[in-house]
Structure 1
């Protein structure tokens, strides 16, 4: 990462967004993040592949929703640091007028995101926390890019396993969506036969002050509420989907 570190950013404590960035081969991370990432990789050697598959899943879903469903509004909560094939880039490859708002509660993410998107009139970055859904809803609306009265793709990708009790918060976000909107979630699954490794993973993240709550596929499915679950086959080849489920769960659902 460049020497221009935003004020208030702790470079000595690992951060989940920067760990993710490092695992994707990014440069926006510090030594503490790289150390934590290597510890995670030693505990779960497949973690890097999981991060890659998660990113691949996200890109395919966004393209499908833009190209096949006609969605033109994307809200990515817990977006993380800008990297290759961002949501707005994939959406713009289908329609340059598509609008994207990124939401994150990390100051370094917001600073870097705003700098990157400064000359992108159809893209914005706001500081917000999924645990405050009303605040997120208001801040996204204030950008002038998203009309909550029209279908929106709401993306909660690889971030809800960092929230101890997400169900009520996600329910409020679902309620605010217009009919025809889509909810996209990916989530770390709980490996029952690797309880010791999962506990070690929790310990690594706890050292960064981040709770980690892997969940079963059934528990993750509850986050979609009464939305219509879509077949994920168009988004991921069968062999990838099979491997992805070992590491995490990815799903897409539509609001009737």
Structure 2
């Protein structure tokens, strides 16, 4: 446990089914994955060959957006939903590299993610790791109430995780999740959202079927740009750069020209400000 986190049920790591977090780890060149994850990735690459590059682009976007929020917007509190397995330059490393007092909460319910995060972060008093489904917004707020100051701006991160959530007719819907979190945040807070999108129905349907089967139903849907844009309806979009392929979001170097970009799918989204 970290920083007073309440004891929760210990779940065993299931190595018989692929995990989106472990697949992402493999795509980034990590070693915290099993053959079932690697096999699923190989099948995924057959449908969407640019997947590995997209994973790297997404990780670079995460670093840039945290750096932007910490340095330009002076945000000192970060709530990272679906944080995934630790890799180089995590949110706390980027944010605390700018402000050593920045606080970061990692929210995940993947047993391997939690085990590794706690091992790596146990000696960092400005980080907190909590075991929750990201849709349990009230529980997450309660669990972080003594660690984060909810009366002050917080950056809520939903980076490459909403495609893991299925559509729903209740508060479990991804759009409802964003509305609920945004409503809890203080004015001046930010919400970072990107998810996998495709204009090709064969890619959308093929990836969705593959991932749903490989992960035992722990998957949502590859969506279209207009669907992701709806997540920002209650937010003031940071524009420029607006809602874009993440490779175009305040890039550190010139992005590739159109003829060198993936045509199968991309990570798409941006940053919204809570301004009520």
Does TM, scored on the shorter chain, surpass 0.5? yes
Hey, what does 1:34 align to over in structure 2?
38
User: For 1:241 and 1:49, how far apart are their aligned partners in 2?
Assistant: 15
Tell me by how many angstroms 1:218 deviates: 1.5
Structure 1 residues 244 and 168: alpha-carbon distance in aligned structure 2, compared to 1, 3 A threshold = farther
The unaligned stretches of length 5 or more in structure 1 are: 1-5
1:53-106 C-alpha deviation (Å, 9 max, x unpaired): 111111000001101110000000000111111000000110111110000021
Matches within 5 A, 1:65-214: 65-141=69-145, 144-164=146-166, 165-192=173-200, 195-207=201-213, 208-209=215-216, 210-214=218-222
The unaligned stretches of length 5 or more in structure 2 are: 1-9, 167-172, 242-247
Name the SS of the counterpart of 1:253 in structure 2: strand
Tell me by how many angstroms 1:235 deviates: 2.4
Q: Report the TM-score when normalising by structure 2.
A: 0.84
Name the SS of the counterpart of 2:72 in structure 1: helix
Does residue 22 in structure 1 map to residue 26 in structure 2? yes
Structure 1 residues 213 and 113: alpha-carbon distance in aligned structure 2, compared to 1, 3 A threshold = same
Hey, what does 2:250 align to over in structure 1?
235
Structure 1 residues 65 and 133: alpha-carbon distance in aligned structure 2, compared to 1, 3 A threshold = same
Query: Is the Cα–Cα contact under 8 Å of residues 26 and 32 in structure 2 kept in the other structure?
Result: yes
Name the SS of the counterpart of 1:188 in structure 2: strand
User: For 1:83 and 1:22, how far apart are their aligned partners in 2?
Assistant: 11
User: For 2:62 and 2:257, how far apart are their aligned partners in 1?
Assistant: 13
Tell me by how many angstroms 1:240 deviates: 5.3
Q: Report the TM-score when normalising by structure 1.
A: 0.91
Query: Is the Cα–Cα contact under 8 Å of residues 189 and 273 in structure 2 kept in the other structure?
Result: yes
Please give the root-mean-square deviation of Cα atoms over the aligned residues, in Å.
Answer: 1.9
Hey, what does 2:3 align to over in structure 1?
none
Name the SS of the counterpart of 1:184 in structure 2: strand
Query: Is the Cα–Cα contact under 8 Å of residues 100 and 145 in structure 1 kept in the other structure?
Result: no
1:209-239 C-alpha deviation (Å, 9 max, x unpaired): 2223122212111112221101236622562
User: For 1:191 and 1:212, how far apart are their aligned partners in 2?
Assistant: 17
User: For 1:126 and 1:240, how far apart are their aligned partners in 2?
Assistant: 38
User: For 1:16 and 1:102, how far apart are their aligned partners in 2?
Assistant: 17
The answer to which structure has the higher helix fraction is 1
Does residue 252 in structure 1 map to residue 275 in structure 2? no
User: For 2:46 and 2:101, how far apart are their aligned partners in 1?
Assistant: 43
User: For 1:205 and 1:87, how far apart are their aligned partners in 2?
Assistant: 26
Name the SS of the counterpart of 1:211 in structure 2: coil
